[in-house]
Structure 1
Amino acid sequence: MPMDAFQLWLTFGVLAAVFLCFMKEWLPTELTALCGMGVLVVAGVLGEKEVSEVFSNSAPLTIGAMFVLSSSLTRTGAIDWIAVKFSSWAGTSMPRVLTVLALIVMPLSAFLNNTPVVVVFLPVLMAFCRQAGMKASKLLIPLSFLSILGGTGTLIGTSTNLLVAGVAKSQGQQPFGIFEISGLGAIYALVGFGYLFLVGVRLLPARDTVSSLIDAEDTRKFCSAVVVDDDSPLAGERLVGNPLFSDRKRTLVYEVARHGRRVEDIPLDALVLQERDTLWFRATAKQLAEIQATKGLTMLHETVGSANDEEPQGTQVKTVEAIIGPRSSLLGRSIRDSGIRRRYGVVVAAVHRRGVNVRAGYQDLRLAFGDTLLLEGPVHNLIRLKQEEDFLSLNESSISLPRKSKVFLASGIMLGVILTAAFGLLPISSAALVGAVLSIVTRCVDLREAYERIEWNILFLIYGMLGIGKAMEITGGAEWISQGVVGAMKDFGPVAILAGIYILASLLTEVVTNNAVAILLTPVVISIADSLGVDARPFIVAIMFGASASFLTPIGYQTNTYVYGAGGYRFGDFVKIGLPLNLLLWGVAVWLIPRFWPF
């Protein structure tokens, strides 16, 4: 076999293996992509020159800088202020709530990465739904979908747009302006919102979330401690078998000390009480009074009534919902083996996964991205938990004190980046980099926080897929595919080919990842346009919008995965609501793209 043919088929083989790993989730996506690129380097398909070109691409740098800029707005409280205002603006009627949500989320997502927007709004919407008596499942899918629709409004609204523009520029295409796609993006967002407002709300399920496992009454809990007395009748009893320390199969105890040391090697559901054990627990006022009156127990702290003698003094214990994050160290580990109680001083009361509230047997469930846990513990332990990357809290937007004195500065820097790029004073990559540096230098966000907020897994995924895309280009793989597509569809005309490109990008995004799809298809569609003798820009824009239109599954886009567990949804809910939206937007794109960007 000639060497060129060998490299071509090897590249296709690597690409197929990478896609299979993406779908099966055998490895993290970024590691899969980098391994694929590594194979091509070792095989000689990619040389030093090609590797240098991959890492000199400006798109990943721009995306990283936008992560920092988004973080500065979050850290200074700009987004939180808007999110908190939502509750006072939204009212109580569903049409008004949805309209206000759209008016806030879509403009924010047009200029910020939509993931932090959704993360900030999740706890706000959860709290709002509890106060308004609404089901969170009525609002969380709209939250994710509106953020995706808003991201199509500008070049910086989503990493997909930046990637497609970057790859197209490297292929010799005219650079995209920051607002070049805004006209179509605005129509796209209006159509999507209209669908959600008129049709989607009727298809949304009314589901209980994991927090519905808590009693609606007497939910305030307080932290206290008791010591098991000498000769106590409780000594020798199993902790979980004692109704005094359990509440509907949930243990009230979150920590036990024995001989002056915390008991870490024995799970609470297997612990047998001994004399002089110290039990730290959380309980309602009624439960606390029962424990205090029990023979054989001595309260470690005095629990005198409050000023009005209606409730005891103590450290209030909070119950929060938290999603397992994409970079959590708990992924793949069971709750029993995860050490959550030992590490954070909180207990897992229940788990929600794929539309099911898991109460029994959840201790042996292996945790996955998107699982929602019901965590209970004292406030100071929850504060410590919030500083970790294992969880995304749904009950409060941020535990770090916002730097409110910097809010106007951070907003001004972001506005400066947008205007600088819009008027062509600097390329978007340079403007974003300067803005990110200014955000750090002016202390809108600390350097450490900036590092933490950059989604490094996304950047590594992008570099790996850029390498595979480069191999497709130099081996002739992209040209080979384009010739096959043109040969099969040339009689149908460029509009039909554009429709096929859009639907292919949209479907692949649902099962792989939007960034990988954008990188791989952009060179192919440029080659298709060259073969047809037409302008490539309509096809490039179709990739931008098609790879962003991820409404069909909860795994195609990260924001969908976040709301999947939090809203108590099932996989079929996304299909029922997202499929008509995907088809509707497909029709809009096929009709309008050639009018904005003629062939």
Structure 2
Amino acid sequence: MTVEQIFVLVLLAGVFVAFVREWVPPDLVALCTTAVLLGTGILTTKETLEVFSNPGVITVGAMFVLSAALERTGCIEAVGDAATRVMGRTQATALFGLVALAAFVSAFINNTPVVVILTPVAIRLCLHIKAAPSKMLIPLSYAAIFGGTCSLVGTSTNLLVDGVAQRLGQPAFGLFEIAPLGICLTLIGIAYLMIAADRLLPVRDTVATLLDELPQRKFLTEMAVLPDSDLIGKTLEEAKLATAATGGRVVDVVRGDESHRRTLDAIRLQAGDRLVLKTAVEGVMDLRGRSGIGFASESGLQPVASRSTVLVEGIVGPRSSFVAHRLSEFNLRRRYGVYIVAVHRHGENLRGKFEDVRLEVGDTVLLEGPAEGVRRLVASGDLMNLTQPEHNPVRRDKAWIAVAAVLAVVLLSAGDVLPIAGLALIAAVVVVVAGCLPHADLYRSIDWRILFMIFGMLPLGMALEKTGGVELLAGSLTGMAGSLGPHAILALVYLLALVLTEIASNNAVGVLLTPIAIGIAQQIGADPRPFIVAVMFAASSGFATPIGYQTHLFVYGAGGYKYMDFVRIGLPLDILFWVAATLLIPVFWPF
């Protein structure tokens, strides 16, 4: 081994360790890797910049835009609503309808927005049939992955593996070339979920279960401490406002423009303080008669108000600006008039100091406030409303354009009119120009973290090829397999990709293992095609851990799951797909 080979292999190991330990975000890990390769001279600037012309990455970005257009025009939600009306009879029919719908839609657009849109639909369906959302949400995530393997555009991993393979001289995959295998595995996966989901998935509490613990609340009432009030200098406990409010409670004290919500136990009231109380309707009249506090002009202060409120459950989505930030940084009370009641993460409902917790994708929050404030918060894209899904897409009249654009990409690509990267790019421009997706939302619709992680990982694959690391790793694998034959080596390649996908990014695994799979095939004198397909499918089949696929993280919090819930239902599915894929791949792509 040369010094460069040793360095690149150590760097590869370090990247996977960093992905697993999550010391820093994966996109930053990938970009640092590129910087190291450039700084050490292993790759030249020209070689590194070639990654920005990778057709797979361009297609991934364009498909993000097309998926957002379908979302904003209400197409996905309309399909989900129609399916709910048809399948909402029993838990078995609801489960089958939900997973079949998710698998079908995910074959044509990126599977992440499918899960984001259908999660509120699934929760509403569960409420209708009186089932726990934890019985439906993992199957929803799995089904979106099943469907994503039925076409080249179903998941970003397929596009990236195809792009890397093309760069290494392999012929491009057709849009539906992988469909026969994808359909077989989808049918196997749906059958497994129908048999195992109810038996293996537990009933889990979500943040919405706190609704039963909280008193009935109908009004968020603001009152002011009068200048001559006997409450001045007293703590809230000494003031006994909760008793006066007929079971209500003080949720905030606003002094000037500053909220003292997190120091309610210690604060002593001053003249002009605005008290925000939660109370039933009869409590408002009790407070009106309480001396020392007032509603409006008699206080000599600005008018205060009583507003009807709603209590809803929201979830942090993949593109939310809340990710990696604390709730306390966003001043939701001032911007929207809403209050966070609780946060749910990894099977635990957080109360108390949750505002200082850095939020993650899939965290769910219980929030309360006026309906208009909640609506504006949801419209900002930072939270998705799980309790009361929005039913008024902003561009419903443009839905036919979004659908036509996606169909054009599918049909023209299948007919080899243009490469899929070019068609997807044209379609993305069309939906924005036509108004399906507002221009202001164009750049927000693209998950830049995923794209830059891909851009950062592609140079590492190039460095492995340039230094001979690909041949070294391929030779080691074929040497270990000995004379077992191509079927056994194919099974090893799939298993290696599957294990790495469970602990690291599926896109990174696809980018790094594709050159190695091609090298293995060339060393044993076999067609590389089946080995490329093995990487493509295994990198989209991480079912046994919440980090195995990005959609798992989204349903993790919404369903109130624990880590072992994924292991319990996902590990048998991983093994089932491994066996099925090893047997079926050579049938469709002979060695």
State the TM-score, normalizing by the size of structure 1: 0.91
Offset, 1:218: 7.3
Offset, 1:110: 0.8
Question: Alpha-carbon deviations, 1:183-238, whole Å to 9, x = none?
Answer: 11111111111111011221111111111111389756333322233443443333
Question: Alpha-carbon deviations, 1:342-397, whole Å to 9, x = none?
Answer: 45432221121211122344344443343222111222322332244543432344
Offset, 1:493: 0.7
1:575 to 560, 567, 573: 567
The residue correspondences of 1:30-429 to structure 2 (distance < 5 A) are 30-215=27-212, 219=216, 221-239=218-236, 244-245=241-242, 253=250, 256-258=253-255, 261-264=256-259, 267-269=262-264, 270-300=266-296, 315-326=307-318, 328-331=320-323, 334-335=326-327, 339-398=331-390, 401-429=393-421
> 1:262 is aligned with what amino acid?
D
Question: Alpha-carbon deviations, 1:108-139, whole Å to 9, x = none?
Answer: 11111111111111222223333432211111
> 2:68 is aligned with what amino acid?
S
Contact 1:325 1:370 in 2 (8 A): yes
| Stretch deviating more after TM superposition (442-451 or 176-185) | 442-451
Distance, in Å, in 2 between the alignment partners of 1:301 and 1:132 is 50
Contact 1:256 1:262 in 2 (8 A): no
1:461 to 453, 456, 474: 453
In structure 1, the residue matched to 2:472 is: 480
1:20 pairs with 2:12: no
The total of aligned residue pairs comes to 583
Distance, in Å, in 2 between the alignment partners of 1:587 and 1:541 is 14
In structure 2, the residue matched to 1:507 is: 499
Question: Alpha-carbon deviations, 1:55-81, whole Å to 9, x = none?
Answer: 211111000000011111111111111
User: 3-state SS of the aligned residue for 2:205?
Assistant: coil
Contact 1:153 1:184 in 2 (8 A): yes
Contact 1:225 1:301 in 2 (8 A): no
Contact 1:320 1:374 in 2 (8 A): yes
Distance, in Å, in 2 between the alignment partners of 1:377 and 1:427 is 49
Distance, in Å, in 1 between the alignment partners of 2:36 and 2:242 is 57
Offset, 1:326: 4.5
Distance, in Å, in 1 between the alignment partners of 2:438 and 2:294 is 47
> 2:190 is aligned with what amino acid?
F
Q: 1:450 to 1:301 in 2, by over 3 A?
A: farther
Question: Alpha-carbon deviations, 1:264-301, whole Å to 9, x = none?
Answer: 36635344332332234444435445444544333349
User: 3-state SS of the aligned residue for 1:348?
Assistant: strand
Contact 1:54 1:470 in 2 (8 A): no
Contact 2:253 2:260 in 1 (8 A): no
> 2:107 is aligned with what amino acid?
A
Offset, 1:450: 1.5
Identity %, equivalent residues: 44
Contact 2:254 2:260 in 1 (8 A): no
Offset, 1:485: 0.9
Q: 1:240 to 1:108 in 2, by over 3 A?
A: farther
Distance, in Å, in 2 between the alignment partners of 1:327 and 1:102 is 24
In structure 2, the residue matched to 1:306 is: none
Offset, 1:167: 0.7
Distance, in Å, in 1 between the alignment partners of 2:106 and 2:286 is 51
| Stretch deviating more after TM superposition (74-83 or 451-460) | 74-83
Question: Alpha-carbon deviations, 1:438-472, whole Å to 9, x = none?
Answer: 11111111222121100111110111111111111
Distance, in Å, in 2 between the alignment partners of 1:296 and 1:135 is 47
1:441 pairs with 2:433: yes
Question: Alpha-carbon deviations, 1:463-506, whole Å to 9, x = none?
Answer: 11111111111111111100111112131111111111111111
User: 3-state SS of the aligned residue for 1:60?
Assistant: helix
Distance, in Å, in 1 between the alignment partners of 2:355 and 2:415 is 56
Distance, in Å, in 2 between the alignment partners of 1:396 and 1:547 is 35
Offset, 1:263: 2.1
| Stretch deviating more after TM superposition (183-192 or 389-398) | 389-398
Distance, in Å, in 2 between the alignment partners of 1:505 and 1:290 is 66
> 2:168 is aligned with what amino acid?
Q
Q: 1:229 to 1:156 in 2, by over 3 A?
A: same
Contact 1:239 1:268 in 2 (8 A): no
Distance, in Å, in 2 between the alignment partners of 1:327 and 1:76 is 18
> 2:586 is aligned with what amino acid?
P
Contact 1:240 1:251 in 2 (8 A): no
Distance, in Å, in 2 between the alignment partners of 1:29 and 1:326 is 14
User: 3-state SS of the aligned residue for 1:492?
Assistant: coil
In structure 1, the residue matched to 2:301 is: none
Question: Alpha-carbon deviations, 1:500-532, whole Å to 9, x = none?
Answer: 111111111111100000000000000100001
Distance, in Å, in 1 between the alignment partners of 2:251 and 2:59 is 45
Contact 1:282 1:317 in 2 (8 A): no
| Stretch deviating more after TM superposition (73-82 or 283-292) | 283-292
Offset, 1:180: 0.5
Distance, in Å, in 1 between the alignment partners of 2:187 and 2:478 is 33
Distance, in Å, in 2 between the alignment partners of 1:333 and 1:51 is 32
Consecutive unaligned residues in structure 2, runs of 5 or more: 299-304
Offset, 1:239: 3.9
1:548 pairs with 2:543: no
Q: 1:230 to 1:500 in 2, by over 3 A?
A: same
Distance, in Å, in 2 between the alignment partners of 1:475 and 1:137 is 48
Q: 1:473 to 1:242 in 2, by over 3 A?
A: farther
2:525 to 510, 529, 533: 533
| Stretch deviating more after TM superposition (567-576 or 316-325) | 316-325
| Stretch deviating more after TM superposition (293-302 or 272-281) | 293-302
Offset, 1:428: 0.7
Q: 1:363 to 1:454 in 2, by over 3 A?
A: closer
Contact 2:135 2:197 in 1 (8 A): no
Contact 1:83 1:121 in 2 (8 A): yes
Contact 2:206 2:344 in 1 (8 A): yes
Offset, 1:329: 4.9
In structure 2, the residue matched to 1:310 is: none
Consecutive unaligned residues in structure 1, runs of 5 or more: 303-312
Distance, in Å, in 2 between the alignment partners of 1:468 and 1:354 is 33
Offset, 1:319: 1.9
Contact 1:224 1:301 in 2 (8 A): no
| Stretch deviating more after TM superposition (507-516 or 11-20) | 11-20
Q: 1:49 to 1:390 in 2, by over 3 A?
A: same
Distance, in Å, in 2 between the alignment partners of 1:541 and 1:106 is 19
